[in-house]
Structures are given as C-alpha cells and as structure tokens.
Chain A
Amino acid sequence: MWDYSETVKEHFFNPRNAGEVVEANATGDVGSISCGDALRLQLKVNAETEVIEDAGFQTFGCGSAIASSSALTEIIKGKTLDDALKVTNQDIADYLEGLPPEKMHCSVMGREALQAAIADYRGEEWKDGHEEGELICKCFAIDAVMIEDTIRANDLSSVEDVTNYTKAGGGCSSCHEGIEEILTKVLAEKGIEFDPEAAPKPQVAPFEEPTSDTPQVAASGLTSFQRIKKIEEVIEKVRPALQADRGDIELIDVDGNKIMVHLVGACAGCQMAGMTLGGIQQQLMEELGEFIHLVPVQKKAVHAVAGA
C-alpha cells in the first residue's frame, strides 16, 4: 500500500467538487487510459471578470489521482484564470501534504487539465508537451525518456555520466542495470557498443573529498562569504528562466561541496528537474571553479536542514 498522507486519503474518501459542472464553459480532458489515469476538469468562468466561479472534475484513476483532482478544484475556485495558471503541480502536491514519487504524475495531470481547460475557454489549442516513459530511478523519479534524451544530448556513455547529469542511479543503485540497458540501446543507434568499464566524462574540476583538514575555501580560493555570494548570483541568474516555466529555485544551505536547493512550482517533481539541476550545477562549477554537488531537497528536509 502506498504511503499516502492523511490529506490525500481525506480528499480521496471525501472528494470535493466531484461531478459535472452546470453551465460549464471550459473543459479540459487529459490523461491516458492505458496508464489508468484520466481526468476531465470543467470550469464555470465569469466572462466579465475571468474568475473561476465553479470547478468540477471526473476522474478515472487511483486514490492519488482522485485526491489531486479534488485538491486542484479547491485551489482554483475563486481565482482568475491568470492566477489559476500560476498554480503548479507542486502546489497541488503541497496542498495534499506530499505525494509518493511514483504518484507525482497525478499532480502533473491536474495542472495539465487546468491548462487544457483554460485553453479551451480561450479558444486556444492546448498541446501536451508531455512524454512519460517507464520510471527507471525511483530515488529521484527519473524516467526512461529523460535518460535517453540526456544521453543523446550530451553524448554520455557510462552510468556515472547519467547519474552526474540526471541524478538517476545516484541513490540505491538498483536501477543501474536499467540505465545500462538504455545506454546500450542509445549507443547502438550510433553504432557504438556499450562498454561497462567506460570512464565517465571528466568533471570541470577534479573531485576533492573535503576532509577536516581541508579548509572549505581552498577549492575555489574564495572566502565563505564570497563563495556564497557567488552561488547566490548564479542562482539569481537562472531564476528568470525557471520562472518563465512557472517554476523557481531557492538556495537553502551550503555545506562543503554540497549546495542544497529547493525546487519550487513546476520544477519540482517535473521529469526535467534532474536536467535543470544538472545545468545549474554545471554553471555553478564553472563560476566557482570547483566541484560542487547540487542537491535538491524537499520541503520537509528543508526544515531538517534549516533546523540542524
């Protein structure tokens, strides 16, 4: 049985706004019946104010799909369309006090239904840019499509590479066989045979395990203050791009070569999160001239880190 939060269970057992909406003037149908999750979201939008006066859903899906639909309708009722569009899948997951990694797609489906419904209202065509593959790395919720794309885009050839770029395989290691299979397949497209002993791509700076004698400033030659300022600058620089996709990143803490960040909004739980992190990590390493590890932390973990 999944480890659902009490709020997920509560919204599943007593869903809000279930059923069709009388006088609905916007409908968004998303999902995939083969995966077993599909959602119809209906809105009644005030033509003058663009305020969502009523929202209702019909969902074919599991407990978390129904709970996510219920949460979504509660969140968006009373909002204007523009404000509703700012609602992210993470907002839905947060509202439900979290979802298991395998179930984050339920919140993504909620957000997509919202986009589709609003596009329907505005007479626009909504296109789904969403391609979901088999979940390979359960520790970091990275799927096969993302691993394949990252291997192609960066000419990766080893499991270590894939872990460095996507985080997939960086946890319990149980997916290494799966990653090797993907590498074998993608490399074969270029006529290359996968070599399990291939060396990973060189990092920007050689990795130095910080020891108690190693001063933290040594690697970059900066003082702690300068270093953190620099990290902040890089983070600030990437934020607009993330915000454009209705996401955001927040610097939480710096501990040696580990830089803890919290991905917010559309970034969190997004299948692209690993790729985004990889890019930011690369920029940070270039700016600082040292090896660092960008670690995404969850809200709960954030408190733990902050409280520590």
Chain B
Amino acid sequence: MTDGIYLDNNATTQVDPEIVTEMLPYFTEQYGNPSSMHQFGNKVGHAIKKARGQVQDLLGAEHDSEIVFTSCGTESDSTAILSALKAYPKRKEIITTTIEHPAVLELCKHLEKEGYTVHFLEVDGKGRLDLNAYQALLSPNVAVVSVMWANNETGTLFPVAEMAVMAREANVLFHTDAVQAVGKVPIDLKNSKIDMLSLSGHKLHAPKGIGVLYLKRGTRFRPLLRGGHQERGRRAGTENAASIVGLGMACELAMEHMAYENIEVKALRDRLQEGILDAVPSCFVTGDADNRLPNTLNIAFEYVEGEAILMLLNKDGIACSSGSACTSGSLEPSHVMRAMDIPFTAAHGTIRFSLSRYNTPAEIEKVIEVIPGIMTKLRKLSPYWGDDGPKVDPGAAFAPAYS
C-alpha cells in the first residue's frame, strides 16, 4: 500500500528498504548455520556479531554479550519474568502496573493463578505512577519488577531509570518492556540499574519475528528455551540470521535518526494534535502529554465509537488504532483507558495516531482535514449528541435498558 497514510507505527512499522537489501544475501547466499565450522557458517557468525554490536550501541549497553536475540518482544518479556522467578525461587511476589502490554499483563495474571502475588501499580488520570506506592511494595519477597518504558497506547513514559535504582537499593531485579521506547528515545543502559530490557524489531523498521532481551552482566538468569549453545546457552534455537542482520541495521538507522525523531517527527505529531483539537469539539488528549513518546498521539473523541472512526478513516486511506472494545471483540474498552478512569463514552472513542520518520507534513494536513467530517458524521448518529454539541447531561438524555 503506497498511497495510504500509515499512522499505526506503534502496531508495527515498514521495514526500511535499505534493511531489506542488507538482509537478502542471508537467505540465498550466506545461508550457513553460524554454528558450523565451514565458510558458509563463519560469515554468518561475523554478521551476527556485527548486529549484536549495533544493538549494543543503540541501547548503550556495556558489553555486546548482554544482548540476547529472541523471536519477539513477548518472548523477551516471558523469558525475563520467568527467569527471575526461577532464579529466586523463594521470592513469590511480582510488581508490575495495570497498564502493561498483554505480553506482561496476561503472563502476570496467569502467574497469579499459579500462586504468585502480583502487585499491579495503579495510574492516575494521566497514566502516571505513584512512586511512593511503589517504594512501599519493594521487599525481599519480590522476585522481579516489570514496568514498561513507554505505554503503547498513550506513549506516556514511566520513570524506569529511577524505578530501577529503587529496585536495586531493595535488592530486587528490574525488567522493563521497552518495545515502544527503543529507537524513539535515547537509552543508556550502562549507566542505569536496569537489569533486563525487552525490545522488538518490527517496532523500529526491522522485520517481525526478531526481538532482544538485554541482560545486564551479572544478572541471575535461567533460560526459557534450552537446547543448543546459541546465545551462550541463554536462548537455544538456530539464529534467525537474516532478521538479526536486519535488526542490527535498524538499530544503526534508529541511532542516526534519533534527533530527527525527537525534533521533526515530534513536530508533526504536535501539529496533528493542535490541528485536531482546534477543529473538533469534545475531544481530548489521553495520557501525560508533557511526558510521552515523540511519535504518539492518543485522542479520545467523545460520544462516538472507535471502530466506526477507524472504518471511516480507512476509507480515506488513513490507518490508525483504537482502544474501543469492538476492535478487539472484547466486552470492555482498552484496559489502559479504564485504568486512567476515562469514561466509557470517551474510552470507546480513543484513537491512537503513531507516526514514523516516513510520515510527511502533507499527510498530517490531510488527516487534519478529514477528521472533523468523520466526527460530524458519526456524532449525527450518536444518541448522546444534540444538534451542535453533546446533549445536556448526556448520561440522563440517553440511559439504555441494560448495562
């Protein structure tokens, strides 16, 4: 799709064509197993080493051996949390937050059923944590803290560096799911107390199916997959060589574009926000607008439903995401919006715009032009909407029979 406007980069990204070119020889020419002794394998081994260094640079890791390639962000998250529980069998508590990605949230809920105590830190209306509440939970009973670096829906950043220091002082392992943050905000792990970090290739223009678990030297670790000696026995299974090469290149490009992302992409995002808020009544930005990813904008459009918005946007070639229940087939809107206490009439109408360095000012202007018409059309259908604004006391004006 070349003529569409893609604003769903927190879901996944286009693989940079330069990266594809870099990867291609590893399918048909350099196809050897890096573990093999012959020339076919040897070159692949060198390519993986180079990629490991490129990831190390982007993360600011002290050693390249701290980089463990996995199959995806979810695998990295599971590996990190389950490893901590195995490595500290007497510790039966986990600290996380209510707004984690399902990769962490669902795993923690499952572990609860297996007998672990999970503390889900709550957030305020802007999606911010209370660090005093966090401090109070840290104890020798906690095996691991897992807190996302940036929220995938709102882009809100958590103070993970500070939280990692607090965990270290309490002698507790600290893991962060940084899938949304890596490549978008500068990261310097060697000067942090973060023990483990997950990243996913396809969020930063590398292909799907490749991820990384950063493991600070000295961190107690138990592998999820056992078998071969790949990744120094920390993640068995033949290396996904082509994708590892692609991820390495993607990390290098992300480093090069870090300033662009935080100046130009951010400016486009801010223009989009301003344009929409100026043109559409009854809508607001969710999350912590002053402290979020440079590429992410989440707006709640009140009294309309997200899937309907997405279908109309799609008709104009614009791709975004929504926190409505209907888009996922579940009965509740996004857990992130509920955790921030966004009312149902707004939570179902949340739309996430997530940009990348490939977006242009013309695309952003087009979206700003299209959105008001979509809202007018859908609000005309809404039982909560009057002639030119929400009905007075919308909750009383329309109170359906069951809920």
Most buried by A among B327, B331, B332, B382: B331
Interface membership of A33, Cβ < 8 A: yes
Say whether A37 contacts B326, CB under 8 Å.
Answer: yes
* Interface of chain A, main secondary structure: mixed
**A1-33 interface code vs B (CB 8 A; 1 in, 0 out):** 100000001001101001100000000111111
Interface membership of B21, Cβ < 8 A: no
Say whether A62 contacts B399, CB under 8 Å.
Answer: no
The answer to whether A36 and B401 touch (CB under 8 A), given A12-B308, A13-B315, A62-B308, is no
**Cβ–Cβ < 8 Å partners of B400 in chain A:** 29-33, 38-40
Residue of A nearest to B110 (CB): A177
Most buried by A among B303, B315, B333, B400: B400
Chain A positions near chain B (C-beta within 8 angstroms): 1, 9, 12-13, 15, 18-19, 28-40, 57-66, 102, 112, 116, 126, 128, 130, 132, 134-135, 138
Which of B315, B331, B382 contacts A58 (CB under 8 A)? B382
Chain B contributes a number of interface residues (CB within 8 A of A) equal to: 33
Min Cβ gap B373→A in Å is: 13
Min Cβ gap A110→B in Å is: 13
Residue of A nearest to B303 (CB): A60
Interface membership of B348, Cβ < 8 A: yes
Residue of A nearest to B326 (CB): A62
Chain B positions near chain A (C-beta within 8 angstroms): 303-308, 311-312, 314-315, 324-327, 329-333, 344-345, 348, 380-384, 398-403
Most buried by B among A32, A60, A116, A130: A60
Say whether A126 contacts B307, CB under 8 Å.
Answer: no
Alpha-carbon distance between A65 and B325 when the two chains are bound, in angstroms: 13
Say whether B381 contacts A18, CB under 8 Å.
Answer: yes
Say whether A15 contacts B344, CB under 8 Å.
Answer: no
Say whether B398 contacts A32, CB under 8 Å.
Answer: no
**Cβ–Cβ < 8 Å partners of B315 in chain A:** 13
Min Cβ gap A295→B in Å is: 24
Min Cβ gap A147→B in Å is: 15
Which of B308, B332, B380, B398 contacts A38 (CB under 8 A)? B398
Say whether B345 contacts A33, CB under 8 Å.
Answer: yes
Which of A12, A34, A126 contacts B311 (CB under 8 A)? A12
Which of A18, A34, A62, A138 contacts B332 (CB under 8 A)? A34
